């Protein structure tokens, strides 16, 4: 006999693979997210995992380009999508004439980033995106609807308290205008974004490294330290009396967003204004969001997004403003599991396992069909194994009911229904089984 060279069955670093009990839970979360998106009327959208590099890298550069998975097939330069926003931009530009605006779509899928894998950070991960794209204009009220969707999802996911942090980039831009340091804005925002992680002192040190004057550092500090209730923060921002037009506009937008967030019934304890969130991504131009799980801030934002003024500028002349968010489900799932917040009690999908004792396979198929017609998931154990093994199968997979069919049952045209949790069993008819299980 030829010897088979065995290969170690390993999975690449940075790629999540789950056992069935975890996958069941993961899919439940996925379903909650998708169904909630649809509850808000968002349309489903799919785009290819592979795109032409030219299309995908149209607006990229820097980090994105370094992290993207690219390869050649023949003479074609191809890349794996690294987010769902760029494919959305391409899609909207390509089908502009066939879409109805404002275009509200959701897309859930895997994206790829070739960076060093790390705790909760994967090279392949799920993003669950929603975006609302306007044709030329898009009401600010859309920016208030987004937190309401996040709110509904995290309420349904039921992993404990969470808080949606809301800010507006224009307020920050206005501040930098006011301080005459708009040229360093991008670097400063990256530093401010790290506040929660490294603390105020370290932020001040980093700002000093960027050659921000002492006076301006103090102003930035007192600005991001603005505290109080949501309404108090708005009032304090107003009281700054900044001349900057962009600041005034940002504040007006934020005020409007807060008003409608309340109208959308997001509870006061589940949202706040956080003047420090800026997001590294440079395409956000207005409202920005981050969501944290209260008590588990260290895992970072589990859902972020914001408003961008021009989605598809690299693909079309059309002016397409949008607002959207993305839930990083792979990271969220990983962190929740690490924290023990995921209870993976379901090891199987079947509610019933049908076991035969030498005879009765025909009866088994028949009752299996009937159960399925009544929407009861079930399976037949078909292997010629010992009785013990048959029951162990149901037990290991924690299938709650077993139907046993043997000589006695076939003769009487009855079934033994066993409850695997209590251990009780009884001889019953088809009708009684349905009555018990439906």
277 contacts RNA (rule: CB under 7 A):
no
Buried b / exposed e along 392-401 (16+ C-beta atoms within 10 A): ebbeebebbb
Task: Select the span of 123-131, 153-161, 228-236, 430-438 touching RNA (CB under 7 A).
Answer: 123-131
Residues in the chain: 438
Q: Is the peptide bond before 89 cis (omega within 30 degrees of 0)?
A: no
Of the candidate residues 90, 105, 279, 307, the single one contacting RNA (CB under 7 A): 279
Strand residues in 94-158 grouped as ranges (E): 103-112, 124-133
State CA 106 to chain mean position distance.
11
- Which of 4, 12, 239, 438 binds RNA (CB under 7 A)? It is 12
CA distances from 193 to 63, 65, 172, 187 (A): 17, 22, 12, 10
**Strands, DSSP E only, in 280-334?**
287-293, 303-308, 322-328
The answer to whether 110 and 125 are in contact (CB under 8 A) is yes
Q: Which of 2, 3, 7, 10 binds RNA (CB under 7 A)?
A: 10
Residue whose token pair is 């019953």: 428
Q: Is 118 one of the binding residues for RNA (CB under 7 A)?
A: yes
What x-and-dash track marks residues 374-413 binding RNA by CB under 7 A? Answer: ------------xxxx-xx-xxx-----x-x-xxxx----
Q: Answer yes or no whether residue 344 interacts with RNA by CB under 7 A.
A: no
CB of 386 to RNA, least distance (A): 6
Does 105 bind RNA (CB under 7 A)? Our answer is no
Question: 């301006």: which residue's tokens?
Answer: 216
Interface with RNA, residue 242, by CB under 7 A: no
* 173-202: contacts with RNA (CB under 7 A): 190, 193-194, 197
Decide if residue 167 touches RNA (CB under 7 A): no
CA distance 27 to 128: 12
CA distance 23 to 41: 27
317 forms part of the interface with RNA (CB under 7 A): no
Contacts of 249 (CB under 8 A, 6+ apart): 170, 174
Nearest-approach distance from CB 234 to RNA, in angstroms: 26
- If one asks whether residue 420 binds RNA (CB under 7 A), the answer comes out as yes
**Number of residues lying near RNA (CB under 7 A):** 55
Residues near RNA (CB under 7 A): 10, 12-14, 63, 113, 115-123, 125, 127, 190, 193-194, 197, 279-281, 300-304, 326, 328, 330-331, 357, 386-389, 391-392, 394-396, 402, 404, 406-409, 416, 418, 420-421, 423, 425
């Amino acid at each position: 006999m030829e010897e088979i060279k065995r290969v170690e069955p390993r999975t690449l670093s940075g790629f999540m693979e789950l056992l069935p009990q975890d996958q069941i839970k993961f899919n439940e979360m996925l379903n909650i997210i998708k169904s909630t998106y649809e509850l808000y009327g968002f349309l489903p959208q799919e785009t290819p995992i592979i795109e032409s590099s030219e299309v995908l890298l149209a607006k990229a550069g820097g980090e994105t380009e370094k992290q993207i998975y690219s390869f050649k097939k023949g003479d074609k330069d191809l890349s794996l999508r690294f987010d769902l926003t760029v494919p959305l931009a391409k899609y909207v530009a390509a089908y502009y004439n066939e879409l109805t605006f404002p275009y509200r779509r959701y897309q859930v899928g895997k994206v790829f980033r070739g960076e060093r894998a790390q705790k909760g950070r994967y090279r392949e991960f799920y993003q669950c995106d929603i975006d609302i794209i306007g044709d030329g204009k898009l009401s600010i009220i859309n920016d208030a609807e987004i937190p309401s969707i996040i709110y509904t999802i995290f309420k349904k996911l039921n992993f404990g308290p969470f808080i949606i942090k809301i800010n507006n980039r224009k307020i920050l831009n206005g501040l930098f205008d006011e301080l005459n340091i708009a040229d360093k804005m991008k670097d400063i925002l990256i530093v401010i974004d790290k506040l929660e992680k490294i603390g105020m002192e370290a932020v001040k040190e980093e700002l000093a490294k960027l050659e921000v004057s002492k006076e301006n550092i103090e102003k930035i500090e007192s600005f991001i330290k603005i505290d109080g209730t949501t309404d108090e923060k708005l009032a304090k921002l107003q009281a700054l009396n900044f001349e900057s037009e962009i600041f005034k506009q940002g504040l007006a937008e934020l005020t409007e967003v807060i008003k409608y967030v309340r109208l959308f019934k997001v509870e006061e304890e589940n949202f706040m204004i956080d003047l420090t969130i800026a997001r590294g991504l440079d395409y956000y131009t207005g409202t920005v969001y981050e969501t944290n799980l209260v008590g588990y801030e260290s895992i970072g934002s589990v859902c972020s997004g914001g408003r961008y003024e021009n989605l598809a500028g690299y693909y079309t002349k059309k002016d397409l403003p949008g607002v959207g968010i993305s839930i990083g489900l792979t990271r969220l799932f990983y962190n929740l599991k690490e924290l023990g917040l995921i209870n993976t009690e379901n090891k199987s999908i079947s509610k019933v396992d049908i076991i035969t004792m030498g005879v009765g396979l025909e009866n088994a198929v028949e009752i299996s069909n009937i159960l399925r017609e009544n929407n009861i998931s079930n399976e037949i154990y078909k292997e010629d194994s010992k009785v013990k093994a048959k029951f162990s199968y149901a037990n290991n997979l924690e299938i709650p009911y077993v139907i046993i069919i043997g000589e006695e049952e076939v003769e009487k045209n009855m079934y033994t229904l066993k409850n695997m949790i209590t251990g009780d069993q009884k001889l019953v008819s088809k009708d009684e089984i349905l009555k018990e299980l439906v």
